[in-house]
Chain A
Amino acid sequence: METRQTLTFALAGNANVGKSVIFNQLTGLNQIVGNWPGKTVERAEGKLRFKDKDIKVLDLPGIYSLSTFTIEEIVAREYIAIEKPDVIINIIDAAFLERNLYLTLQLLELDVPMVVALNQIDFAAKKGIKIDEKKLSMALGLPVIPTVAITGKGINELLEAAVQVAEGRLKLKPLKVRYGREIEEALEKIKGIIEEELSGLLKIYTSRWLSVKLFEKDEEITRKINLMPQGKEALRKVAEIISEVEKVQGEPSEVILASERYGIIRRIVNESMEIVSPPKIKLEEKLSEITAHGIIGYLVLICVITTMFTAIFYGGNMLIEGLEYVLIDLALPQTRRFLLNLLPEAITSIICDGALMGIVAGVTIALPYIIPFHLILGILEDSGYLPRAAYLMDNLMHKVGLHGKAFIPLIVGYGCSVPACIGCRIMETDRERFICGFEVVLIPCAARTVVILGLVGFYLGIHVALTLYLFNVVLIFLLGKLVYKTLPGEPMGLIMEMPPYKIPSLKNVLVKAWVRTKDFIYIAFPLIVIGSVVIEALKLTGLVWFLAEAMKPLISNWLGLPPVSGIPLIFGVLRKELTLILLSELIKLASLTPTQMIVFSLVTMIYFPCLATIAALLREFGWKKALGIALTDIFLAILIGGITYRLLSL
């Protein structure tokens, strides 16, 4: 039994080709979703048994190429080159063969054992496209298995082929990607330089691949070579070779290679694909037409958002009420009574009001919103609606330094910051993700809305509350522009595929929602529990009064608030609506001056995101950026609060 070896398969493919559906078909619930070390890129890994073999399957992020445009591409490339999985399963969309084969060619150049899954052949057939998989297989020199991921058709054959390739029972004669004569000559010269002067790199990459990447002026490889002793000299020689070819061809080298690759692909496609009948996808096209329409599209968008909000928050609230009743009204008092019999009061307090209360807060705040959010995001992702929404909102999002795709996390932010932070990962580059995350936490979530409406809205009137919201929008607009201008890196406009509409697979949506929620629990709960214990301990030891005393100059002199209001602000870190509840316990709300109400609401709106949000930020951006965002927000809250106090008391 112990000699049974584990095989590793990696799934690679473009976005929207049904890769995650195949992954879920292969592994079911037997999977772990996390992040790639140090990167905000989702990493999904699963296990399965097939004919007495243990197989580890890794779902690489969806990519269009193996260059270094997005972090996803770097992650996928490094994994394939360094970890060397036994087999790469390249999933390609039969309906968009030409574009999909671009990645396939690049994978071929990496020289790894590979099997091709020709997915969504049913949809291609509807479009009138017929692909001869035998001819395609001959042309690529790889096994090509037709699949329909949603129904599971062809999955067993795919596994069978992959296992055979892994065990060497199926010999491959992979296509050798060859370019035009001038380019090949240049590549040969570069290869010579690499073998002579940079042989250290050959342990990881093949010399052919390195020369192709150097010819394309790949940033990542160039950076690595620059650090080597003879690197600079070698790069200079390579640059000379490249500029000669560029002069002759009149195009930059990366464009030359892209054109050549598409030329090779054109030949393969001409051989193996034919259009046999006119497309029969009227409904799909009608839907595209309506949802991207200049007027109707926006109406549809409003409907979708309203539905999404209602589902997330009504669904979430119902869950919260149920859970709160069970946990806070029933379970907690029982536990406390039980523990009091065994332990001294102080420890019981720490356990019940700290640790357990923290867990309860996590369960009752974050989870009820996160689960429906992930379900709905899954449906929007899998159906193909998300790109349409991004298309419609691109214009507006440019005003806050982002592009269309950021619309989804920003709008979700009005509900709960936690799923909104997680949603930032739909942006392509680290830069865009960070800007998005920064803006998302500034948006008043439902809990902050409670404070604004309960204090300012109730005592001063709804128009003041709306003014605060408007101020918030302006603030986000200004800060977004500022971060956009100051953050290094090339700002990216929108370049996005508009995939055809599909009916999402319920199983896929459920599995995705479940594993993503699970991942959040693992990361966020320890933090929430520790934070709650610390705050409870502060309270028990009386340190909290000391802290409030220390904060007094800030609270009363700079912000002009009653000195005790420092305490609710500290506890607000747990959950934002607590600030108002605690404040009303400490002083009569009606005794506050209008200025104090406005300042208090403003500070609550902007300062430190709640623990669960910090956990989500940590999960998505790493501690440095999370801390950066949190500290900036505190600073901003104090600054704006103080200025407002002074302006309003003029």
Chain B
Amino acid sequence: MPDTHSPAIRSNQPADAHAAVYRYDEFDKTFIFERVEQFRAQVERRLKGEITEEEFKPIRLMNGLYLQLHAYMLRVAVPYGMLSSTQVRRLARIARVYDKGYGHFTTRQNIQFNWPKLEDVPTILRELAEVDMHAIQTSGNCIRNVTTDQFCGAAADELVDPRVYAEILRQWSTMHPEFTYLPRKFKIAITGSPNDRAAVQVHDIGLIAKKDEVTGRVGFTVYVGGGQGRTPYLAVKARDFVPVEEIIGYLEAILRVYNQLGRRDNIYKARIKITVNEMGADKFIGLIEEEYARLPRQKFYVDPAIVDAIQTHFAPPPWVDLPAISDSFEAAKAADPAFARWTRTNLTEHKTPGYAIATISLKPIGGIPGDAEADQLETVADLADLYSFGEVRVTHEQNLVLAHVRKDDLYPLWKALDAAGLGTANAGLISDIIACPGLDYCALANTRAIPVAQRIAERFADLDRQHDLGELKVKISGCINACGHHHVGHIGILGVDKKGEEFFQILLGGDAGTNAALGEIVGPGFDYDGIIDAVETVVNTFVKLRQPGEIFIQTLARTGHAPFKEALYARA
């Protein structure tokens, strides 16, 4: 039986005892329940009319509660994407009891529920608090959930475990007395590896771990002023190296400069990227440095003791010694081509011999990107308990990850996933699309995005064709706020409202990875039916032009946009 693999089960511990989630201490627990009661009282004051909707709105947003097109929406924080199976089961329960039986994973590694009632939300938050979860600062003009690399703690190329610092930043930013009424929202991403899997350069602050070659000290390269939205910017480097002990002080300096000088006269110019670019990066960085030089740094010194204390929450699970090659895995691949295909896209190398990182696609062909039914969440929780120390991760590409699977277990894992509609072999391929909720749910959107993603996936439903195309990242936003990351898609799609009709522009050449780049609009937009043909034209052009071994973005870089434009607009 596979469950004998689990050391936790053998020792009568909970199956997720080794899941690398931050487990609350008495202070955290006191805080989280006080916060729930605070929100309950705030809702009561709102219902009694003691505070206006205008005043209540930022309060509910800072507790994750939006008002969308059809209903309220509650965005629950998944700190740096890490969940235990207990937490996943609680999310499934919330979906079933208080919502409509499903949840939607977001590009910031969170999960949202689309149909909660205002009067139920304090109770939902209490249910979350019981499993060390919350919805704090998942919206509003404050420091948001810190995101990171979904492969942290398992990837072979990691310098430091970013979760430790992401957790420190989560605590530091929680109800920060000075930085909770910022000009605009503020997003921090952190990666512990020089290979950026967290898109740090399109964040307000991006941190990339770095080791000082001379001293051996660990710290971060700090980027500031990146972002997508209607005016996308890649972040500029503020400092090449800030030692980990000084990182909170340095962030305090950045936030203070921004809080004082960021624009408050125009919501579209209020993000730090605008401040940086209007002022000039050099001047802005100069102000940060001045502020940092005079801050009471002692007060913000990150003692190695706190790093050690938090590190214990992210201790590696008890991997066992295994041969690097699993005979049963190799045999299953040889016997089952569908499984073999999944292993080509949905597995990533683990740093420990005999283990692999498995990506669970939430992008079944024709499905809604990032949606998971309550039953599916429970299946994932069960499989995590059986095969991956009870731990589940959310990726910014709206998929899930089991990070520590024995190669011997991959075949039964995939069979179980496949039976639950979670076994699609498309991670990183053309149907692994990021799409914002768009006009199907969002009150701000101009066009729908989900059905465009569905129809692209259906057009390329043939998995052999997708595998032949190789890595190709399609990202779709239903308005210029760019929640679907269209600026950094290899193929980006932006929905625009043209006299009440949905139109879609194509961008080419964006990249969210280590070589971050913003895509460029190729030309006039396409209508709702035409956009799918247009994407196929782009793809067919790539197939015609590619040289052996090239992926889309490489071919595009080599040929430039001209042949693609020509193919798209030649007939006009």
Q: Do these two chains interact?
A: no
